[in-house]
Structure formats: C-alpha cells, structure tokens
Structure 1
Amino acid sequence: MSNYSTNLTEKQWQVIKNIVEPQERTRKKCLREILNAIFYISKSGCQWRMLPSDFAPWQTVYYYFRKWKLEGVWEELMDVLHSMARKSVGKQESPSLGIIDSRSVKTSHHVDTDRGIDGNKKIKGRKEHIVVDTLGLPMAINIHEANIHDSKGAVPTMEKLAFKFPRLCKILADGGYQGDLAMWTKQKFGWDLEVVLRPKENPRKFNVVPKRWIVERTFSWLENYRRLTIDYEFLTETAEAMVTVAFIQILLKRFF
C-alpha cells in the first residue's frame, strides 16, 4: 500500500476501528485500506474507476462506501468524532449553540435530479445546508435543490438535530432565515433561532459578524476537498455522504 497523505495513521484507525468494524472477522480486504481509498477520492476528486491500482478494486471500495451510506455508518462516525473532539478541548459533548448557513454548489452536467437555480448566486445545482458548533465542527448536513429558499431548506436540516444534542438551546442564522422559521423552531424543538444581521451603516463594507463567521470558515475547510468543488453525485444522499466523509477527514486530521 502506497503512503498517501490521506491515509489513516495508526492512532486514527484505532479511534474509528470499532465503529466501522464492530465484529472482527477475516476479510479479503482490510477495512482500513477501504477507508484510505475513499479518503483519497474525497481529497483528490478522482473518479471511482480511476482509483490507483495500489488500492482495492474500485468496485469493492464503492460497495463499502454505499453500504456505510445506507446503514448510516458515515453519520454515526461523524457524530462520534464530533463528541470526542469536543471532549478533547475541554467542552461538553453536546453544544448549547449552533450556527446554520448554506452554500450553493454547481452540479455536473450528468446530474438531472434534485437540482435547481439559485437566482441570487446565479448557480445551477444544489445547496449544502450545515449546522456547526462554536468550534466550527459539523452537527447536521442536508443537501437539496439550489432554488429552495434558505428558510425552507433549514427545516429538514433542523430536524436532523432532533434528539442528538440535549444542551442545544440557540441557533444563529443570517438574514436569509427571517420569517416564520423562528416560531416553528421554538414550537417544535424549544430552540431560539436568532437572526444576526450585518450593520446597516456602510453596507458595502465587509464586516465580520460575531459567531456567524465560524460557519463560513467551515465551508472554507470543505474547499480543500476536490470531490466537493462540483457536485458529481446523482443522488442527494450520496452527496451528503461525500460531505460527511470530508468532515470525518477534517475531524481526524485536526484532533487525532
């Protein structure tokens, strides 16, 4: 096996081993090698069929990627690493504050499902909706058509937070989330949705809005993963899995 920069270290493998392989058994291919191949695709942006030959066959790698997507293993792995990362810096596992935002991403020409045009950004594709904590670490991911307004796309994103974070009491958002969403969030979950607007004076001047810049920094982290620069995935759930894989790599690299 070649020594790619995306390969798991021994410490990182020991952290996640029991999640992806709860019962040890003899396999033709080590799951660590499978993960290394998936992480290589996420970082480099190569096609499945162009996976270097020193990895497992691409069919085997894709089989496990899809299997873990359907079984919820990727989401579970991200949630476990999120809790461990917070504990490692002296914070409680469940954050009390979340920050929500979205970005529009172009889709490949062969993607015909679940995409639309973001009239504001002039992008034809999908929106990646995320909620992060004050460390910028992911709490929830939801992907949908780019033409859906942020206040509407936030609803299924918020629902993914339910029952996961018992200490959560407030979520910060920008002006795109104004309207009835705050009332719906309070009635359904008991959380306060606070819309933080930019200063009205000199609106053309760039201003760093307290706390809200954190989610923008998280989006900038994702820019380092070339598979995400354009959405190549035919299904939105596959696109969500790819974003989750990138977040898993970020968590492993930063904290383990």
Structure 2
Amino acid sequence: MLAASHEPSATRVSGDAEWAMLAPLLPQILPQKKRTRPCAWTKRASIDGILYQLKNGCNWEDLPKDFPRYSTVYWHYKQWRAAGVIEALMLTLHEKVREQVKKKPKWTTLIIIDSQAVKHTCNASVASKGFCFYKATNGIKRHLAVDTLGFPCFTHCTKASLSDDAGLIEMLTLNIDYFKLKPVNLPKTTILLDHGYHIDYLIEALEQVYPQIMTKIRFELATKPSKQEKAAQGKAGFVPAVARWVIERSNAWMERCKSLVKNFERTLAHATTKINLCFVRLMLKRLAAPS
C-alpha cells in the first residue's frame, strides 16, 4: 500500500507550506537508519501525529484514527527525542527565522531570560518534583533564554525548588560552547534579567565555568517602574517592562499547547523536549506565513 494514501486529512496539523520548509531539513538532522523494510507511513504523517498530541494534550493512545497507530507515532517521537533531533531542529529553524527578518542567524545582541514555575500532574515523576516557595508551586521550573523575536536560544527545565540563579547557571553551563564560539570582535551580548536574579553571584559562578565569559556578555536588570512613575503615567497594577514583555509572551505561547499547561513528563529532559517541540511548531508557522 502506498504511503501517500495514509496522509492524515481533517486532523492534519502541518500545512503544505510548513512541510515544504521542514522536509529539506530532515535528511540533515535525522539520524541515519539501517536499511529495513520501508515504513507504511510517511514521516510527515508521524510529525503531524506528534504535533497533534502536543497541541491537544491527549494521550498517545487517543490519537485520531487517520493518523498512524499511536505506537508508530510515539516510537518516532521517542527515537527523535533520544537522538536530539527536536532540539537540533529548533536551533536550525531559529536561525532561519532570524534570517527571514534580516538578523544575524546565530549571534544575537540581546538575550532575555526568565523562569516559569509549572505544576506537576500525577503522570510526572516524583524525582523531578520540587516546591517553589516564591510561587507556591509544586512541580518544575522552565527556564527560557529568548531573543527579541521571542524564540529561544536555550531552554532548560529544573525542579521548582531550585533558585532562578542556579537554574540560569545550569542552563548557560550546558550551552557554554555558544559563548566560547562567539567571535571576540562582535559586541557583547546583553542578558536582560528581572530583579529576582543576583548578578554578582551569577558572574562569580559562570567565570568558574568559562573565565572569559564576561568578555562576551554583560548582565542587565530590567527597569521596573515605581508606583510614582505609574501614577504619573495614569497607570496602575501590572505595567509591562521594556523588552521584558517579549519573554512573558513566549511563556504565554507555550500555554496554547495543552500538553504544556502543566507538566505531564516523567523526566526533566523530556519536559525540555516538549518545550523545544512547541517552538518548532511556532517557528514553522512563522516561516510558512505569507509575507
């Protein structure tokens, strides 16, 4: 039976324009597979099933019947997750999105970092659970580092009990090669933080990992309007800070996927993969949108 006859119809998630952007990237990113019997389903059908589960938050077993069998879809997702395909795809698409708006594909001059505490569900593992006293949340923390477009340069998940400072240090340490490879002739990258972070502590910890890091980056606290300044502007309550609203919007984008409203994943690495997959979906839509 021809694979084309198995394409999902009404429940298809990725459109033709999105698939046209994605298809050329897969041979470069997917791991080489041993020569076996050809699969009855196309990779596009499996990707549609993965994105459907992400967006709608259903159990894998509850995928609609015009997708491949749930075991097939989940097998592909599990293999690509283990091989780092989803993270590599997110980084590749991020470079293409930046090129689309005439920005440098890799080296951004501003990175905005924030964390979001997310509640656990009964599916999640006890080993990845922690309690955040500041947010009164029992679960995990999602750490995001985004550019001015709101798309992530780095993502990382920790227990909610870990402080924002420690989570940021973990995230930048895991991605320290990004800063080591940055050319010295480029301007320093400004890392914009809110007032929950402690810059002196961050600098001391990161210089132990990479002594020259402060020649490549500089930390800056976001301006926070006082009550008097808000009153003078005729505003009250929450007022978006300059540039900080970008990462708040990124957090809101994630919550449009029902799989990310709470943490359903058993490990922190799996939770990070779901975040990466969410932004893969968003960037595909951005690249495929008519200009």
Shared fold, TM over 0.5 = yes
Which secondary structure state, in structure 1, belongs to the residue aligned with residue 178 of structure 2?
coil
The answer to whether the 8 A contact 1:100-1:129 is kept is yes
Q: Which runs of 5+ in 2 are unaligned?
A: 1-7, 231-235
Partner of 2:201: 180
Tell me how many residue pairs correspond in the alignment.
255
TM-score under structure 1 length normalisation: 0.92
Could you tell me how far apart the structure 1 residues matched to 2:14 and 2:78 are? 20
Deviates further, 101-110 or 127-136 = 101-110
Query: Cα–Cα, structure 1 residues 93 and 160, in superposed 2: closer, same or farther, change >3 Å?
Result: farther
> Residue 7 of structure 1 aligns to a residue in which SS?
coil
The answer for the alignment partner of 1:14 in structure 2 is 20
User: For residues 158-206 of structure 1, what are the alpha-carbon distances to aligned partners after superposition, in whole Å with 9 as ceiling and x for unaligned?
Assistant: 1243333635622111111114113434673231121224234458732
2:3 corresponds in structure 1 to: none
CA distance in 2, matches of 1:208, 1:53: 44
User: Partners in 2 of 1:242 and 1:3 — Cα distance?
Assistant: 24
Match of 1:60 in 2: 72
Distance (Å, rounded) in 2 between the aligned partners of 1:241 and 1:155 = 19
Q: Which segments of 5 or more consecutive residues in structure 1 lack a partner in the other structure?
A: none
Say yes or no: does 1:93 pair with 2:116.
no
Post-superposition offset of 1:57: 1.0
State the shift of 1:51 in Å: 1.1
State which of 106, 110, 114 in structure 1 corresponds to 2:128.
Answer: 114
Please say if residues 97 and 283 of structure 2, whose CA atoms lie closer than 8 Å, have aligned partners that are also in contact: yes
1:48 aligned residue = 60
Query: 1: CA distance between counterparts of 2:127 and 2:25?
Result: 32
1:3 aligns with 2:16: no
What is the aligned partner in structure 2 of residue 196 from structure 1? 222
**Higher gyration radius (CA):** 2
Instruction: Tell me the alpha carbon deviations over residues 117-163 of structure 1, each in whole angstroms, 9 at most, x when there is no partner.
Output: 11111111000000000111111110010011100111121124333
Identity over aligned residues, as a percent? 29
In 1, are the aligned partners of 2:22 and 2:284 still within 8 Å (CA)?
A: no
1:14-68 Cα distance to aligned partner (Å, 9 max, x none): 3222433447984322110000000000100001111111111111111111111
1:220 and 2:252 are equivalent in the alignment: yes
Shift of 1:90: 1.1
Q: TM-score, normalised by structure 2?
A: 0.81
3-state SS of the aligned residue for 2:75? helix
Whole-angstrom CA distance in 2 between matches of 1:34 and 1:21: 15
RMSD: 2.1
Task: Name the amino acid aligned to 1:108.
Answer: T
